Amino acid sequence: MSSTVGARLGLIGVAAGGSAALLLAAFGFEYIGGLAPCQMCIWQRWPHAAAIAFGVLAFLLPGAARWIAVLGLLAALTTAGIGVFHAGVEWGFWEGITACAGGGDVGSLSSTDLMAQIMDAPLVRCDQVPWSLFGISMAGWNALVSFFLAGLWLQAVRA
pLDDT in tens, 50-108: 999 999 999 999 999 999 999 999 999 999 999 999 999 988 888 877 654 444 555 56
Estimate to the nearest angstrom the gap between the alpha carbon of 47 and the chain centroid: 5
Give the domain 3-95+107-158 fold.
Answer: Bromodomain-like (1.20.1550)
pLDDT (0 to 100) of residue 59:
95
Given a cut of 70, whether residue 22 has pLDDT beyond it is yes
User: What pLDDT was estimated at residue 61?
Assistant: 95
Contact 139, 87 (CB under 8 A): yes
* Angle of the 65-91 helix axis to the 138-158 helix axis, nearest 10: 160
The β-bridge partners of 137 are: 132
Q: Are the CB atoms for 12 and 65 separated by under 8 Å?
A: yes
Strands (E), 57-140: 132-133, 136-137
Q: What pLDDT is stored for residue 99 in this prediction?
A: 55
139 Cβ contact list (under 8 Å, min separation 6): 40, 41, 44, 83, 86, 87, 90
3-class secondary structure, 66:
helix
How many alpha carbons fall within 13 Å on the CB side of residue 58? 31
Domain ranges of the chain: 3-95+107-158
Helix and strand element counts for the chain (H, E): 5, 2
pLDDT in tens, 112-136: 776 776 666 666 777 777 877 898 8
Q: Is the pTM of this model over 0.85?
A: no
Residue 1: pLDDT band with limits 50, 70, 90: low
Tell me the C-alpha distance between 72 and 106, whole Å. 35
Contact 129, 137 (CB under 8 A): yes
pLDDT at 5 over 80: yes
